[in-house]
């Protein structure tokens, strides 16, 4: 980040040239560690901090940002940072890291990106005792003033930068994430990456898996470990994909189960089922499982997807049961950072005898089995989705972003997977190709947006791919050394 402060173009050139190795440093999993220590490593602000004390004059705070042509904003309130919980203003590392990827992965100009952290306090008692904590020393404000603050923030951003400004919500608590998505999606150009971006990358993995199994997505039974915003976002997009393949919506929902900290999400259980979870709260099975392993035994899923952020809950016996039930079990351990992953790639491949189709949220090294077979786990990283979607949205001047956009993005990503990648065990293309992947997603999404009357940039570019490529910011250096062979013959030496 010191390089970014001194020489921005060099920073992005270095990042792009070795993105597969450096992405885990700029983003997951290192960004999680950076957020936990943010006040201790802080040197200078990289984004805009807005506190609840600023209520009533947020527009003047936004006016202080020096850039006049912002196209993309990533905002967090720090309540649920990755799988680490409430980190308050230390969560600023997430918007900063996300917007680095907007530029590195999709060529969105860095000066058109604005990271924002909303400070309403924190319920993390250790931070409230931390002398280096940079935020308000108070419990998180959950009064109507919080909603008023977010309303005022949304109005201030669009008032200064325009109604088409993309506002990405990031790492809000589950309740607020769904609430704000419903509240703002028809009023502003906004999406929630934890709900929609995660959904698209997970669905892309399932679509890629069907190339290996030959089993269409409509025939899968999916069991989630976790029932928060990531699980519900993925589940709803899977339902949308199944419906597109001719499955009635109720039948599609019945193929999806969830298991949270209170047990199986089902009708009539003592613990409250959130209104967002109700479509996936089915009548209780014959016997009620008392552990995730029992749920696997009882429901016999073809895929398990971990998004609970609770650590190693895909135990050896769970993995072995999945291998016994399925010829090619699908195992997605998507929780971040690495310490929160449900299992490692080595555990998954070893305990399923190399038959599983595995994806993780954080990177894992190549796994070599005793018989000599090697597998490279696909990383189900949202960076495959949100930069390309953001690029398409910005170039198309979209006013509202529908879930169909993320369905198209998921399909476009799955189509980027080559047969050699699949043979290696990958469900996603190599991260070294991510700039090209983002361009392909942007082109596919733009075609969808214009075809469905959602784009407001006119005239419509007749050829989308050359248009997208002409608009991306590049970190290539211009050469100021003329080609000696082009000099006039009589030029002085």
Q: What is the pLDDT of residues 31-69, one digit of tens each?
A: 989 999 999 999 888 899 999 999 999 999 999 999 999
Q: Is residue 456 part of a domain?
A: no
Calculate what percentage of the chain has a pLDDT beyond 70: 97
- At residue 490 the predicted structure's pLDDT band, cuts being 50, 70 and 90, is low
- pTM exceeding 0.85: yes
pLDDT digits (tens, 9 = 90+) for 282-323: 998 888 999 999 999 999 999 999 999 888 999 999 999 999
User: Residue ranges of the alpha helices (H) in 196-278?
Assistant: 198-213, 229-244, 249-254
Rounded-to-integer distance, Cα 199 and Cα 202, Å: 5
Q: Is residue 218 part of a domain?
A: no
3-class SS at 125? Answer: helix
pLDDT higher than 80, residue 434: yes
Residues carrying an active site annotation: 27, 98
Rounded-to-integer distance, Cα 493 and Cα 486, Å: 13
Q: Is residue 103 part of a domain?
A: yes
Q: Is residue 448 part of a domain?
A: no
- At residue 201 the predicted structure's pLDDT band, cuts being 50, 70 and 90, is very high
- At residue 27 the predicted structure's pLDDT band, cuts being 50, 70 and 90, is confident
Once rounded to an integer, what is the mean pLDDT over residues 394-402? Answer: 96
More confident site: 424 or 490: 424
pLDDT at 486: 53
DSSP assignment string, 52-74: GGGTT-HHHHHHTSS-S---EEE
360 phi and psi angles, rounded to 5 deg: -130, 160
List the domain range (segments joined by +) for residue 134. 2-172
Closest among 202, 177, 203 to 190, alpha carbons compared: 177
Rounded-to-integer distance, Cα 14 and Cα 137, Å: 38
CATH number of the domain residue 144 falls in: 3.40.50.10380
CB 426 within 8 A of CB 417: yes
Domain count, the chain: 1
In sequence order, the 6+-apart residues with CB closer than 8 A to the CB of 151 are none
CB 291 within 8 A of CB 316: no
Q: Is residue 268 part of a domain?
A: no
Q: Is residue 276 part of a domain?
A: no
pLDDT digits (tens, 9 = 90+) for 74-110: 999 999 998 889 999 999 999 999 999 999 999 999 9
In sequence order, the 6+-apart residues with CB closer than 8 A to the CB of 125 are none
Rounded-to-integer distance, Cα 259 and Cα 470, Å: 46
For 261-337, where are the E strands, in sequence order? 263-264, 303-306, 330-333
Rounded-to-integer distance, Cα 40 and Cα 38, Å: 5
In sequence order, the 6+-apart residues with CB closer than 8 A to the CB of 112 are 67, 69, 70, 71, 72, 394
pLDDT at 483: 57
Closest among 294, 304, 361 to 328, alpha carbons compared: 304
Closest among 207, 205, 203, 240 to 404, alpha carbons compared: 240
pLDDT at 89: 97
pLDDT at 279: 95
Closest among 450, 440, 443, 389 to 413, alpha carbons compared: 440
Average pLDDT over the chain, rounded to whole?
93
85 phi and psi angles, rounded to 5 deg: 90, -155
pLDDT at 482: 60
pLDDT at 488: 53
Q: Is residue 289 part of a domain?
A: no
Rounded-to-integer distance, Cα 165 and Cα 383, Å: 20
Q: Is residue 230 part of a domain?
A: no
Once rounded to an integer, what is the mean pLDDT over residues 248-265? Answer: 95
CB 199 within 8 A of CB 413: no
Once rounded to an integer, what is the mean pLDDT over residues 335-350? Answer: 92
Q: At what angle do helices 198-213 and 229-244 cross, to 10 degrees?
A: 50
pLDDT higher than 80, residue 492: no
């Amino acid at each position: 980040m010191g390089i970014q402060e001194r020489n921005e173009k060099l920073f992005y050139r270095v990042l792009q040239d070795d993105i597969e190795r450096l992405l885990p440093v700029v983003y997951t999993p290192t960004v999680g560690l950076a957020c936990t220590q943010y006040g201790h490593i802080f040197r200078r602000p990289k984004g805009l901090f807005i506190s609840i004390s600023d209520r009533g004059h947020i527009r003047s705070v936004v006016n202080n940002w020096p850039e006049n042509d912002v196209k993309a904003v990533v905002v967090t309130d720090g309540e649920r940072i990755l799988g680490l919980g409430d980190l308050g203003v230390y969560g600023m590392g997430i918007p900063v890291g996300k917007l680095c990827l907007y530029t590195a992965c999709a060529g969105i100009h860095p000066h058109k990106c604005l990271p924002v952290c909303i400070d309403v306090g924190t319920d993390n008692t250790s931070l409230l005792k931390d002398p280096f904590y940079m935020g308000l020393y108070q419990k998180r404000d959950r009064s109507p003033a919080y909603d008023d603050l977010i309303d005022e923030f949304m109005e201030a951003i669009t008032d200064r930068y325009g109604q088409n400004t993309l506002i990405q919500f990031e790492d809000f608590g589950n309740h607020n994430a769904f609430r704000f998505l419903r509240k703002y999606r028809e009023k502003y150009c906004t999406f929630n990456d934890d709900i929609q971006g995660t959904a698209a990358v997970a669905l892309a993995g399932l679509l890629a898996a069907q190339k290996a199994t030959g089993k269409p997505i409509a025939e899968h039974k999916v069991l989630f470990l976790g029932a928060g915003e990531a699980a519900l976002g993925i589940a709803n997009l899977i339902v949308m994909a199944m419906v597109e393949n001719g499955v009635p919506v109720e039948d599609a929902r019945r193929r999806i189960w969830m298991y949270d900290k209170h047990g199986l999400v089902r009708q009539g259980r003592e613990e409250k089922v959130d209104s967002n979870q109700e479509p996936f709260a089915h009548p209780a099975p014959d016997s009620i499982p008392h552990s995730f392993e029992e749920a696997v035994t009882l429901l016999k899923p073809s895929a398990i997807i971990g998004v609970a952020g609770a650590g190693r809950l895909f135990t050896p016996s769970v993995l072995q049961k999945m291998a016994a039930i399925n010829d090619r079990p699908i195992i997605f351990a998507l929780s971040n950072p690495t310490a929160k992953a449900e299992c490692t790639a080595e555990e998954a491949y070893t305990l399923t005898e190399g038959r599983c189709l595995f994806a993780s949220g954080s990177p894992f090294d190549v796994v070599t089995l005793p018989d000599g077979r090697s597998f490279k786990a696909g990383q189900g990283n949202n960076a495959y989705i949100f930069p390309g979607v953001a690029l398409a949205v910005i170039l198309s001047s979209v006013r509202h972003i529908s879930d169909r956009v993320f369905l198209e993005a998921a399909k476009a990503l799955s189509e980027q997977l080559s047969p050699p990648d699949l043979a290696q065990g990958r469900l996603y293309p190599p991260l070294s190709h991510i700039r090209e992947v983002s361009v392909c997603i942007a082109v596919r999404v733009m075609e969808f947006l214009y075809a469905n009357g959602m784009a407001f940039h006119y005239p419509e570019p007749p050829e989308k791919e050359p248009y997208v490529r002409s608009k991306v910011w590049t970190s290539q250096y211009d050469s100021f050394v003329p080609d000696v062979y082009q000099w006039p013959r009589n030029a002085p030496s």
